[in-house]
Structures are given as C-alpha cells and as structure tokens.
Amino acid sequence: MHIVTGGAGFIGSAMVWKLNRMGIDDVWIVDDLGSGPKWKNISGLKFREVMPSNSFLNLLHQGKALPSGTESVIHMGACSSTTETDAEYLLRNNFEFSRYLAMLGIEAGARTLVASSAATYGGGEHGYRDGVELLYRLRPLNMYGYSKLLFDQWAASSGALGRIASLRFFNVYGPNEYHKGDMASLVFKAYGQIGATSRMGLFKSHRPDCGHGEQVRDFVYVKDIVDAMWWLLGHPEANGLFNVGSGRSESWNELARSVFAAMGREPAIDYIDMPLSIRGQYQYRTEADIARLRAAGYEGGFRPLREGVLDYVQNHLAKANPHINNADS
C-alpha cells in the first residue's frame, strides 16, 4: 500500500496518476477535498481509500504507527501558499506533521518521500546546491520557505535525512493545478488571460540590472516531476536532499512567448508594477543544481519550457476535461 498525502492536490494527484500508469492502485489518498473542484483531480483514478487529513492523523495517533502493509509514504500534503503569514499554522502543517509522518515512515521501513521547496533558498545568494552544508546559511524570504527549511534542518540533525528523500521542487506547472487559485502557475493564468483578452501581464522588474519580464525561474513540468519521484520510490538507497527542477533557468518573457505560441497567438505583453507587499520577498532567479539527483543515478529528462507548455496547453488546458487522469502522454 502506498500513502499519498495531498493526493488530490497538484503534484499528489499527478503522482497517483503515475502510480496507476505503473500498475499500482493500492493507494490511500489523504487530502481535504473542501467545497471546490479539487475532487476532479482524482475522478477516474484508481485507489483504495480517500481520507480527510484530520481523520488520517487521528488514525495515526490511535495506532501510533502507519497502517499495516504500508510500502511507501509520499508526503505532498502541506500549505503551499508563499503568502501565508500565519506562522503557527505553517509550523503545524509543514513542519510538525511532516516530521511526525517521516518518523513513522522510517519506523515502518516504508520508502518515504517528502515535499520540500526551492523557497528554502531565499534570494539565492548562496546558490542552489542541495547539500546539507548550506542548511543553516539559507535565509528564506517568506514563512512558507522557512517552514520547509525547518523540516530539512530537523531531518539532517536527527539522522532522518539518511533514510528519506526530501525533494526541493522548483517552479512546477502542469495539469491538476486548476484548484490552486492565486498559487497556480503563470502558465495556467496566462492561458486564461490570453483567451479572454489576447494579452497577458507580467511584473515589472524593480532592479536596475534586470529588464522587465527578464526575471528567471527554473520551470519544471509536473509529468517530469512524477517520473523522477517514481524513480526515487524504487531506489531506497537514494536518500537526502534532492533538487527537482529542469536545471535550466528561463525568463517570464520566454514563458509568455511559449504560451502565446502554443495558443497560436502573437505575443502581447503588458508590464505591471509588482505589489509592494511582495517586492521584498521576490526571487529574481532560481535554477536547480541537479547534480546530486544525477549522481544518485537518475537519468530521466526534463522538458524544455516550450515543449512542456505546448503539451500542457494543447493536451490539457484546451480540452473539455483537462485533468491529467485523461492524459495519454
């Protein structure tokens, strides 16, 4: 049995899809479906159980162990809002629960993967190497990033990091993010903007050394993410911190051009002022150093931005039922 927390969310539901494609349907999905459209992410997927997070936590507290027969814990459940300011809420959800679940996974001998984030790197002043030597030098720009860093620091100091894989995801985009609202990728938002107005907006740069729209990110397609996770699931010897990104940085302008091209439109970009509330927390560059993942033995590819955006737009966003559970590729 495989437990996927956040299993109805973006990366979690994509991972359930991947498990199904690999012939695995003995899956427990742990997630809070709420009153929005998140349930559509698991409609059509195969699994044994779907359980709200509080019910799952109560079950763990009662048995003080994972359910019998658990082979893996794929912990994608967390608050993913980079603008969340409730520090206590983030500590409970992103640190304390993650730590508890990781300990239970280790005790049960279950393969354990935990979602971390590139937000741990802050402004990137120390680079983007995923070694433990940087753990106490990093200064995240928001409480979300700090909550993820706290888990990585605990995992390293406790020795747990030698028995689990903590995955630092970079800018992930792709199907099944439809429920995420403001936290959805710009690819998703741009598709809607362009469809409605034939134009899209990008934040201006507020640094003299960077042109408008030339801020860069490591954009990585969710289908490539779950391929890497599947490989890690089958290689329990590959433990520690792993950046999971494309290893390339590309500009927001290039992302915009990619969406326009996938939609068969000419680019029409408006540059707008960045809100004051996020200017001090804004990352102008991210680029995953994936040397550790490669050294561990992973040889899978990460699609260039244009290729990933083309698949996302034409095979998902443009379809009547755009979810990944209806994908052929």
Residue 329 predicted with pLDDT over 70: no
Contact 117, 150 (CB under 8 A): no
Residue 31 predicted with pLDDT over 80: yes
User: Model pTM?
Assistant: 0.94
Question: Of residues 180, 189, 204, 284, which has the active-site annotation?
Answer: 180
Q: Is 89 assigned a catalytic role?
A: no
Rounded to the nearest integer, the mean pLDDT of the chain is: 94
Contact 329, 315 (CB under 8 A): yes
Q: What is the pLDDT of residues 220-237, one digit of tens each?
A: 999 999 999 999 999 999
> Beta strand pairing status for 200-203 and 111-117?
unpaired
Dihedral over Cα of 139, 228, 51, 158: its sign: negative
Residue 292's pLDDT band (boundaries 50, 70, 90)?
very high
Alpha-carbon distance of 138 to 168, in angstroms, equals 14
In the numeric block, the tokens 């349907």 are attached to 25
Question: Of residues 121, 144, 173, 312, which has the active-site annotation?
Answer: 144
Mean pLDDT on 119-146: 92
Residue 137 predicted with pLDDT over 80: yes
Q: What is the pLDDT of residue 243?
A: 98
Q: Which two tokens stand for residue 27?
A: 């899956």
Alpha-carbon distance of 140 to 124, in angstroms, equals 9
DSSP 3-state assignment of 266? coil
Residue 249's pLDDT band (boundaries 50, 70, 90)?
very high
Q: Is 144 assigned a catalytic role?
A: yes
Q: Which two tokens stand for residue 262?
A: 């996938």
Eight-state DSSP code of residue 251: E
Eight-state DSSP code of residue 273: P
Q: What is the pLDDT of residue 203?
A: 95
Q: What is the pLDDT of residues 144-184, one digit of tens each?
A: 999 999 999 999 999 999 999 999 999 999 999 999 988 89
Residue 327 predicted with pLDDT over 80: no
Domains of the chain (ranges; CATH) run 2-174+219-246+287-303 (3.40.50.720)
